[in-house]
Amino acid sequence: MQKTRLFRLPLLFAASLIIPTTYATDASSSGQPYYEWKVENFEIKEPLGGLEGNAVRGKAIAGNQSRGNCLACHLLPIPEEPFFGNLGPPLTGIGSRQSTGMIRLHVVDQSRFNPETVMPGYYRTPAQLNRVAKALKGKTWLNAQEIEDVVAYLTSLK
Amino acid sequence: MKILTLSNCFFFALTLPLTTITLSAAHAQQPVSGYDYLTPEMQEMQIDDFGNPGMLTVDAGEIRFSTAGKNGKSCASCHGDDGSKLDIKHIASYPVYSTALKKPLTLRGQILLCQDERIGGPSLGHSSAEALQLEAFVRRLALGETVNVDVSGEMAPYYEAGKNLFHTRWGQVDIACHQCHVYHAGRTFRGQTLSQGQSNGFPGYRYTAGKAVSTPERITGCLANLRAEPYASDSVEYINLEVYMNARGNGLKIETPGIRY
């Protein structure tokens, strides 16, 4: 109980911004097929569908609340968007710490690293998901192109 | 790391020691009310009867409580004018096992039974505003009472089923309730502080939605965020979840209507 009490002080600080939590439903994954992916040594070496990512678009996706929404949990060098969450580690400099293939697996399916992760599965196999909202059935959160864009952006963070 | 701005450094200095505290506390599993995670402004709003917007729903329930049903009786005819004859300790023990129905009965389920059978209707929809108002009024009577759900005996399988649901991954986001509300209580998610997801403040007033909601409706809010298909408010799944969630909060004080995110 004593430990719990300690929560209060710093938290009051952190919670002063009130924003609805809804992940806006954006059917962005429509119109693209689902590409299978393969994990070797905690990496997805091949770009999804052989697509080429674009870091500028990737930054926009990562910063946008209704798309990647990465800022909800991570610090990223996007000063124009307010920083919201600290559930995940800062992603600044991730491109100099990890290979592109490993970054790709984090974004596609973080549960491969940590089965209990709270990071959303942005490209998990739709057939394995439980009770997806009807309008989103069969779709991934981000489509393959968006995943590659985000991967290109993170890779560029040296 | 070179890109860290000054204000972010400040933020991290604040939050890093906290991370260690929250993780150890979360695993200790002491129930902590959502109230403890609120800002001081929101806490103040909750405890001020005049400033708490949830009280509008309670007041509407009070009026309904003494409004006659089709058989001429009102709730007050049996339970006293201001509900004074209701046993607040018993209210704090819902859901209870109904031997007649052979399943758990939530507080709302009991209210709707009395509405149908004892005041002769009209029937209220399980998720209707009227049912919410009555539930808010009745649970408010037990303000400060200790949540005390008995999940032994016949209740045990329903508790287990609810516990399973709480540990099931949902929707396109593919995360289970406990992953946020047990492992990460105390951390910030989009500027909101994650709480343990307790039910002792419900029916309560959702600040972000600008309306009063009950426990099933709050669960629907989280399922929608997980991009999952919610259940109907009287579904077996929600009843089992309420059994588990209320019992998980045994020992907390009822705060209806809590002010919450």
Confidence label for B105 from pLDDT (cuts 50, 70 and 90): very high
At A21 the pLDDT is 36
Yes or no, beta carbons of A116 and B183 under 8 Å apart: yes
Q: Is residue B165 part of a domain?
A: yes
- pLDDT (mean) for B250-260: 98
* Domain enclosing residue B15, as ranges: 6-49+148-260
Which tokens in the block code for residue B23? 């993780």
Same domain, B69 and B35: no
Whole-number pLDDT of residue B9:
32
Answer yes or no: do A130 and B169 touch at CB < 8 A.
yes
Which residue numbers in chain A have pLDDT < 70?
1-31, 83
> Residue A58 has what pLDDT?
97
Give A21's contacts in chain B (Cβ within 8 Å).
189-190, 192, 208, 221, 225, 261
Same-domain pairing of B235 and B256:
yes
Q: Are residues B125 and B194 in the same domain?
A: no
The residue that leads in pLDDT, A20 or B43, is B43
* Per-residue confidence band for B188, with pLDDT thresholds at 50, 70 and 90: confident
Residues B217 and B179 in one domain: yes
Q: Count chain A–chain B contacts defined by CB atoms under 8 A.
A: 169
B222 and B174 together in one domain: yes
**Which has the higher per-residue pLDDT, B191 or A32?**
A32
Please count the structural domains in chain B: 2
- Pick the catalytic residue from B75, B78, B177, B222: B222
Domain identity same for B35 and B89: no
B9 in active site = no
Burial category of B46 from C-beta neighbours within 10 Å (exposed 0-12, middle 13-18, buried 19 and up): buried
Give the distance from residue B238's alpha carbon to the nearest chain A alpha carbon, in angstroms: 14
Q: What is the CATH number of the domain that holds B226?
A: 1.10.760.10
Do B44 and B59 reside in the same domain of the chain? Answer: no
In a domain, B103, yes or no: yes
**A87 chain-B contacts, CB cut-off 8 A:** 184, 187-189, 194
Alpha helices of chain B — where are they, by DSSP H?
6-28, 40-47, 55-65, 75-79, 88-91, 107-117, 129-141, 156-166, 177-181, 215-225, 236-248
Which tokens belong to A50?
């052989």
Amino acid at B116: D
Residue B78 CA to residue B120 CA, distance in Å, equals 13
Verify that B171 and B210 share a domain, yes or no.
yes
CA terminus-to-terminus distance, chain B: 32
- Residues, chain A, total? 158
Backbone angles phi, psi at B146, to 5 degrees: -80, 125
Residues of B in contact with A140 (CB under 8 A): 172
Chain B residues touching A72 at Cβ < 8 A = 189-190
- Residue B1 in domain: no
**Quick one: how far is CA A55 from the chain centroid?**
15
Instruction: Please give the CATH superfamily to which domain A2-156 belongs.
Output: Cytochrome c-like domain (1.10.760.10)
pLDDT of B120 strictly over 90: yes
Find the mean pLDDT for residues B144-157. Answer: 98
Work out the average pLDDT over B70-93. 97
The last residue of a domain, from among B140, B166, B187: B140
pLDDT of residue B101: 96
Within-domain flag for B224: yes
Q: In which band, very low, low, confident or very high, does the pLDDT at B189 lie, cut at 50, 70 and 90? A: confident
What part of A 58-117 touches B (C-beta under 8 Å)? Answer: 65, 69, 72-73, 75, 77, 79, 82-87, 90, 92-93, 111, 116-117
Q: Is B97 found in the same domain as B180?
A: no
Judged against a pLDDT cut of 90, whether residue B5 lies above it is answered with: no
Q: Where are the domains of chain A?
A: 2-156
Mean per-residue pLDDT, B140-169: 98
Place of tokens 């938290």: A11
Check if the beta carbon of residue B241 is closer than 8 Å to that of residue B158: no
ipTM score = 0.82
Say if residue B62 is in the same domain as residue B119: yes
Q: Which long-range contacts (C-beta less than 8 Å, at least 24 apart) are formed by B166-169?
A: B166/B241, B166/B244, B166/B245, B166/B248, B168/A130, B169/A129, B169/A130
Q: How far is CA B124 from CA A36, A113, B86, B111, in A?
A: 49, 48, 21, 10
- Mean pLDDT score of chain B: 90
Q: Is residue B132 part of a domain?
A: yes
> Are both B45 and B62 inside the same structural domain?
no
